[in-house]
Amino acid sequence: MGIFDKKDEGAGAGMGGAQELATLKKKYQSVLDAMYQNNVQVKSVQVEGGKLVIRGEAPSADAKNKVWDKIKAVDATHSDLTADISAPAGGVGGPSGVSVSAPRTYTVQKGDTLSKISKQYYGDANKYMRIFEANKDKLKDPDKIQPGQVLTIP
């Protein structure tokens, strides 16, 4: 039956398929926004069998979990969504050499300071210079960060 559903959608959906895609994208727009905010690389967004199918690659398990939290907030059953989001194995060293100490990233929000970000990640606001030192290529002054900047968190 799945084969016929897919064939029917591709063959006769026309504007109905585009309308369905637009409706589902609107419903899950906050999920797509969360993906971009968490640096999840979106591979595809399409409708298959009446469901919105989102495929992507997250930079970390934490980013993947944040996206799933957003999905559950939009619709706990997410019966009209299939999300295929891959992430590197967290904490397990593999052939690629992924380790627990791999740098994370953080996108600066309005009202953030390096001290506030430092407190969030290290539990100590006074360790803000660690973040500044890791981002000297992007920052000239630890007191001047801008919303939208993506910082490396060592």
- The structural domains of the chain, ordered by start, are 6-86 (3.30.70), 104-153 (3.10.350.10)
Q: What is the mean pLDDT of the chain?
A: 79
- CA–CA dist 83, 53 (Å, integer): 6
End-to-end CA distance of the chain: 50
Residues of the chain above pLDDT 70, percent: 80
What's the pLDDT at 48? 85
- Least confident interval from 5-14, 30-39, 108-117: 5-14
Whether residue 145 is predicted with pLDDT greater than 90 in this model: the reply is yes
Q: From edge to edge, which strands make up the β-sheet containing 81-86?
A: 41-48, 51-57, 81-86
Average pLDDT for residues 59-66, to the nearest whole number?
89
- Look up the pTM and report it: 0.49
